[in-house]
Structure 1
């Protein structure tokens, strides 16, 4: 016989802290508060939103002069998952305020006054007090109520955050202004809001679109609904991947540069556009659409199969930012004629040869240039200067030196400059011939064009056979390797996880980066690896909070170090020393006995040099712990 009983499923008090521990970058968390401010704007009034980053006092404030809230509204805003906003507003889930504030700092105060009410309400949340005071719970959060004196009236909301959990640095304000200029461009352009970061106004970001290239598109979905948008061409090809479709919901940019699987080809790196996807669901952090949802898949399928999109992409492949002729390059050198535009940094060989061929005078007759350039191909050096009054120059387009140039048109310009100088000073011809011969020898020995795929950097240390980075991090490593500005190293469980066959709990990989780059690296990786949680400089408290979050099965802890020893993948000895540090300094969920097992298996495989291990242990001030691990005293 069975019976129905009642159980208490009141959420644990740590829920607010845990909501803030996953999913937000600093920029996204502040944007969540700006979203709330925009949702509260007063109709037909330009709302003023101010974001202040206090680098000395270590605080963050977001202030608006919108409608404000009464006591009931503030209580609702502080209630987890009570969504009081309607469709069409940026925040709908009733989670953003709490999770964003918790992600940014341990203490926050929300102060608000509704327009015309004459009352002010405020709630203060202190993480440590909330967790330690057993008398406080979900049903008795203290809220202050104050009647405003005449002349004190105001309306809007102020969110003040102290004891920050995130790094604050001086160039952050300029990054936020640029980001918000893109994220809220629709509101800024229409003068619905004005957003300032540290008193400087955010300007809506506008791409340089090729004149006449914009085409409106309408995607018909299987439900009968239509998605409105447009595609266009950038004036210049993007080499950083900043192209593709920008996906909006209710006027806010949710996902920039979406390729929809058909825009990934390099020849389409000028295609940009916008889709307004108001009916497609987003996650409750509002930083991504839910790609597994039927609505998103319907839009993606409609975009890929849209006839207008197909025609536009086909036509864009034939359009290039390579000039039709190299004549402007040569005219600039020989005649001082200013060019109409700039050349791209890289030009493929075939279109460059066509442009050079187009610059030749008809019938081989000398042109107006002081030195006439004629094209090979022929055997010999990259170019040679003939004798006589015309000073003819023969450019060998078959030369490896010419073909290895990132932009052969620039190489042709360099040749033209030297040829012009040779015409004025014949004595340098000997130098030119000797230099060109040496260039041939250099390219013969070192200049073989790389095959498809990445080349290892010469300075990258060789790793022992059978040891390396965890397979699921390889693509992540390659993405970071493409950015030469980032100094990084995967270490600890990033290489050692395979040696712990009975690993229990969640994996916390370690990625070390140079100071000031953790946030940028995390942002870059989140956009490409959505199934992994990336956290900047997490401590044991933050990692503990993640232990009960279902989505956090795989975690990458990104830590900033002023000096990173070794290459982009730590060797066995450094990885072991770093793993001990990760356990004892940062509290990753791993027992010292587990680390001892890793060491034993690696030692059995002959991967550990004890002298190196002890050297790394001394550098990290973990000698006693490492010695205990070696001897088994753990």
Structure 2
């Protein structure tokens, strides 16, 4: 026989009507219900196993009913007992024990209100032989200024334990593509609980499983003699004298993948940032977007002692992010992880190489055929005389570095320069005009190599992308040093090749 009672929703009536405007993603909203189920299990696990046996597993089942525009979330946790019942339906009332995933007293209410103005909760708690049902109609609550809601009670088995939440008249029912994302994110968020056998999540009858990325096994780059290394490293460091600490692992993906890269940041066993393809990707550690290291570094890091936002979508770093990133990078640099991620390469399949080769050869041949002939005629009719000692244009619009090498028992001081001066028109220049400082030591050979960022070839193929500029600069530097080496061993007019190269590249880069 059903009975009626009341549950207070004071003092949060006005709060409830505002919760629908919270910025949620649907997977994070659904995660609030899963969090509550896990929290109930963690606080009542011993009792649940006494009733169900040691093989008991927490299950959360989510069902989308597109026809009726309804979402149902059901768990087999311990239920909401009478002593917690009033608190459970008052917004922002923090649980007495908030050390688990039920932390702010907002999750179920905020997520339910975000999805719908109309929802109900049915629950039966261990040791209570009743099922209690309460229904929320936000419009009625607001306009009638309700401070209490009716609770319907009916008999149930004493050891029945569950909570069922029904969300009706959904404001935005997830479409097929979004449902796929929800599956991926929930599997990712709760991977740690699933691995331990604590939790099973079902969505429309399908069990959600997280697939771990394959970790790279390979030797150091350019050193095939070393044994292959399994590129996974345990992480364990503390921040603020042990008040906060980080544990977990960092790995390198077997294949570069911008969907699986980045870090998943856990707190209390649950991913807070970095679920699915939305990894936490700090450039301070992973390098620039699109770089080899950015595409290959990933990991799982458990952060303890850190606070989170009440929607559990992000870590509250305060001033600790810089310290965290500094310690993490230091650990990865010292163990060669970043170097391996940056330098390791896998030869593409031959079919892929053949396809790329055919496309590139065709495009390049077409450009040369269509644009180079006038330059070839000019080169033939006007032999180039290279003045080896000419001082060319000086400019301050540069970035440069000096380094030393040795050739023919002579030490060279090389200045490598990148110019962004509009007046520098040649792609590559060689000579003393780019030297940072003149050295009077006759035993020291000074060499200057300059590449122009404003040359059409660089603008067309690289722009300001440092990942594309670096290989082009390396080619230019190699050409410059090869020319100087040729000159050193007596080759006359060594700069003719470079002069012709500048003209040809200008011609075929403007097409």
Between Structure 1 and Structure 2, the one with more strand by share is 2
Q: Does the 8 Å CA contact 1:121/1:146 hold for their aligned counterparts? A: yes
Tell me, in whole angstroms, the C-alpha distance in 2 between the residues paired with 1:94 and 1:436: 64
Correspondence for 2:233: 215
Counterpart check, 1:169 vs 2:175? yes
Correspondence for 2:302: 276
Correspondence for 1:245: 263
SS at 2:128 equivalent: coil
Counterpart check, 1:302 vs 2:327? yes
Correspondence for 1:20: 20
Tell me, in whole angstroms, the C-alpha distance in 2 between the residues paired with 1:38 and 1:314: 40
Q: Does the 8 Å CA contact 1:230/1:274 hold for their aligned counterparts? A: yes
Q: Does the 8 Å CA contact 1:280/1:296 hold for their aligned counterparts? A: no
Counterpart check, 1:411 vs 2:368? no
Q: Which of 312, 318, 322 is equivalent to 2:343?
A: 318
- The 1:453/1:16 distance shift into structure 2, 3 A limit, reads farther
Equivalent residues in 2 for 1:162-561 (5 A)? 162-211=168-217, 212-224=230-242, 226-240=245-259, 242-256=260-274, 257-260=279-282, 261-265=284-288, 266-268=291-293, 269-292=295-318, 294-306=319-331, 311-322=336-347, 329=350, 410-412=355-357, 438=366, 440=368, 449-452=460-463
Q: Does the 8 Å CA contact 2:17/2:142 hold for their aligned counterparts? A: no
Q: Does the 8 Å CA contact 2:57/2:199 hold for their aligned counterparts? A: yes
Cα deviation for residue 199 of structure 1 reads 0.6
Tell me, in whole angstroms, the C-alpha distance in 2 between the residues paired with 1:195 and 1:219: 32
- The 1:436/1:263 distance shift into structure 2, 3 A limit, reads closer
The superposition leaves residues 115-136 of structure 1 with CA deviations (integer Å, 9 ceiling, x where unpaired) of 23211112111011101113x2
The superposition leaves residues 417-447 of structure 1 with CA deviations (integer Å, 9 ceiling, x where unpaired) of xxxxxxxxxxxxxxx9xx9854645798x99
Q: Does the 8 Å CA contact 1:222/1:298 hold for their aligned counterparts? A: no
Q: Does the 8 Å CA contact 1:219/1:299 hold for their aligned counterparts? A: no
Larger RCO, structures 1/2 (Cα 8 Å, 6+ apart):
2
Correspondence for 1:83: 94
Correspondence for 1:146: 154
- The 1:129/1:450 distance shift into structure 2, 3 A limit, reads same
Tell me, in whole angstroms, the C-alpha distance in 2 between the residues paired with 1:295 and 1:85: 28
Cα deviation for residue 143 of structure 1 reads 2.2
Asked which structure has the greater CA Rg, the reply is 2
Cα deviation for residue 30 of structure 1 reads 0.9
Cα deviation for residue 284 of structure 1 reads 0.3
Tell me, in whole angstroms, the C-alpha distance in 2 between the residues paired with 1:259 and 1:173: 25
Correspondence for 2:497: none
- The 1:436/1:245 distance shift into structure 2, 3 A limit, reads closer
Q: Does the 8 Å CA contact 1:188/1:194 hold for their aligned counterparts? A: yes
TM-score by length of 1: 0.49
Q: Does the 8 Å CA contact 1:53/1:59 hold for their aligned counterparts? A: yes
Q: Does the 8 Å CA contact 1:62/1:160 hold for their aligned counterparts? A: yes
Tell me, in whole angstroms, the C-alpha distance in 1 between the residues paired with 2:105 and 2:370: 65
Q: Does the 8 Å CA contact 1:235/1:321 hold for their aligned counterparts? A: no
- The 1:441/1:89 distance shift into structure 2, 3 A limit, reads farther
SS at 2:285 equivalent: coil
Tell me, in whole angstroms, the C-alpha distance in 1 between the residues paired with 2:366 and 2:326: 55
Quote the RMSD (CA, aligned, Å). Answer: 3.1
SS at 1:167 equivalent: coil
SS at 2:212 equivalent: coil
